[in-house]
Copies of this chain bind each other. A is one copy, B any other.
């Protein structure tokens, strides 16, 4: 084996709490948390076996975390890479109003990577997984020809027919976002501008330790509040565009209403551009029927109305600026670490 793969798998098992909990077939299943989810076989068999809650549908999402594209070793501690890797997947589950059942990690590592890096990466990932009842239940390991390559799969569940899709927004619905936007893009901009300077992770929390909005998403689904929902991974302009396209509607949003993150030291508000186009904040963007009232916080997270859904066959999004002038909002792709 090119890598000490056995050692790696044993380590992942240990960190994921499998070592002491594995049982022989036939001697009963292993409960690893989650809402009645049972993992009856885990890392070490051909497949993981999951028992989803009765009356639920299954949610599946996969997300790459690639060195040089999604992170840089000199900018991100291994724990941060592990945390962000899983947060991406959990955030997709949140955006459907679902709950996680288990996570799966495909991990390809270059031959010369110190074992300590892997251990810290897995530790960061598993810590977030424990917090959100998403135990690591399997995956794949390989040698990487170049750089660290991870693909995270999160499997979740949602009561039958209740998943909140991108396609449910209707004209007149109000457009909301959770939390504040632009912190992750601000951190990237700062690191790009001053590559040698170490940022303080606590000043850019949504970048270094994003919390997936699982509880908020679940409440919005349970109470029938969200008509459409998406997580802000590509940036507001792009992700609102997705909702509009999938729902066959348009949207008007107001620049002054967009909650901008406060970052850095001295603390300051991020530029509007970062809140509009910066990705990877992992907040939720959702629409709510005009007949429903929303509190200003749900599950401890601020929710802010930023606009309304309009009739627009072209799915166009208009931005009202501070001077009262409307502009077409063109989605800017989220460009990660490209310069």
Residue from B2, B108, B160 within 8 A of A338 (CB atoms): B2
Q: List which A42-70 residues lie within 8 A (CB) of chain B.
A: 44-52, 57-64, 66-70
Of the stretches A98-106, A182-190, A270-278, the one at the interface is A98-106
B52 touches A106 (CB 8 A): no
Residues of A within 8 A of B (CB): 1-2, 24-26, 40-41, 44-52, 57-64, 66-70, 92-93, 95-96, 98, 102, 104-106, 108, 137-140, 142-147, 149, 151, 153, 155-156, 158, 160-161, 163, 165-168, 229-231, 246, 248, 333, 335, 338
Chain B residues whose C-beta falls within 8 Å of the C-beta of A62 in the assembled complex: 104-106, 138-140, 151, 153
A63 touches B160 (CB 8 A): no
B2 touches A64 (CB 8 A): no
B69 touches A145 (CB 8 A): yes
Report the separation of the CA atoms of residues A98 and B102 in the bound assembly, to the nearest whole angstrom: 19
- Chain copies in the assembled complex: 2
- List 10 additional contacts besides A46-B231, A62-B106; criterion CB under 8 Å: A2-B338, A44-B246, A45-B167, A47-B60, A50-B59, A51-B57, A52-B52, A58-B58, A63-B140, A66-B108
Contact of A63 with B106 at beta-carbon distance under 8 Å, contacts A93-B47, A155-B155, A338-B2 already known: yes
Chain B residues whose C-beta falls within 8 Å of the C-beta of A59 in the assembled complex: 47-50
A151 touches B146 (CB 8 A): no
For the complex formed, measure the closest distance between the CB of A129 and the CB atoms of chain B, giving whole angstroms.
15
Residue from B1, B47, B66, B104 within 8 A of A98 (CB atoms): B47
B168 touches A44 (CB 8 A): no
Chain B residues whose C-beta falls within 8 Å of the C-beta of A142 in the assembled complex: 64, 66, 69-70
Report the separation of the CA atoms of residues A219 and B140 in the bound assembly, to the nearest whole angstrom: 27
Contact of A51 with B60 at beta-carbon distance under 8 Å, contacts A143-B69, A145-B147 already known: no
For the complex formed, measure the closest distance between the CB of A57 and the CB atoms of chain B, giving whole angstroms.
5
Residue from B108, B137, B144, B338 within 8 A of A60 (CB atoms): B137
Report the separation of the CA atoms of residues A69 and B333 in the bound assembly, to the nearest whole angstrom: 31
Chain B residues whose C-beta falls within 8 Å of the C-beta of A108 in the assembled complex: 64, 66, 69, 149
Which B-chain residue is minimally distant from A94 (CB atoms)? B46
Which B-chain residue is minimally distant from A51 (CB atoms)? B57
Report the separation of the CA atoms of residues A147 and B317 in the bound assembly, to the nearest whole angstrom: 37
A166 touches B58 (CB 8 A): no
Interface centre among A47, A146, A149 (most CB of B within 10 A): A47
Interface centre among A68, A92, A140 (most CB of B within 10 A): A140
Chain B residues whose C-beta falls within 8 Å of the C-beta of A230 in the assembled complex: 46
